[in-house]
Amino acid sequence: MALKCDICGKGPATGNSVSHSHIRTRRRWLPNLQKVKTNMNGKIVTRRVCTQCLKSNKVVRAV
């Protein structure tokens, strides 16, 4: 299962975790994805949507 938003395509970001002794190890920041039931062409579909898309009303939830 991909960790991508179905609306904006936001995915994991990568970078370094830096310890106190300045040793760098790779790490990932995962997007905050939520399963949301949406109305798509008259059908109720479950989509994985990031919270930024939910807050900005890019997604209309099914009632």
pLDDT band at 13 (very low <50, low <70, confident <90, very high): very high
DSSP 59: S
Measured in degrees and rounded to the nearest 5, phi and psi for residue 55 equal -65, -35
Query: Rounded distance, CA 53 to CA 7, Å?
Result: 7
User: Is residue 63 pLDDT above 90, yes or no?
Assistant: no
pLDDT of res. 61: 92
Q: Is the pTM of the predicted complex or chain greater than 0.75? A: yes
- Averaged over 39-61, what is the pLDDT? 94
Domains in the chain, CATH or no CATH each: 1-63 (2.30.170.40)
Measured in degrees and rounded to the nearest 5, phi and psi for residue 24 equal -105, 130
The helices-and-strands tally (H runs, E runs) of the chain is: 1, 4
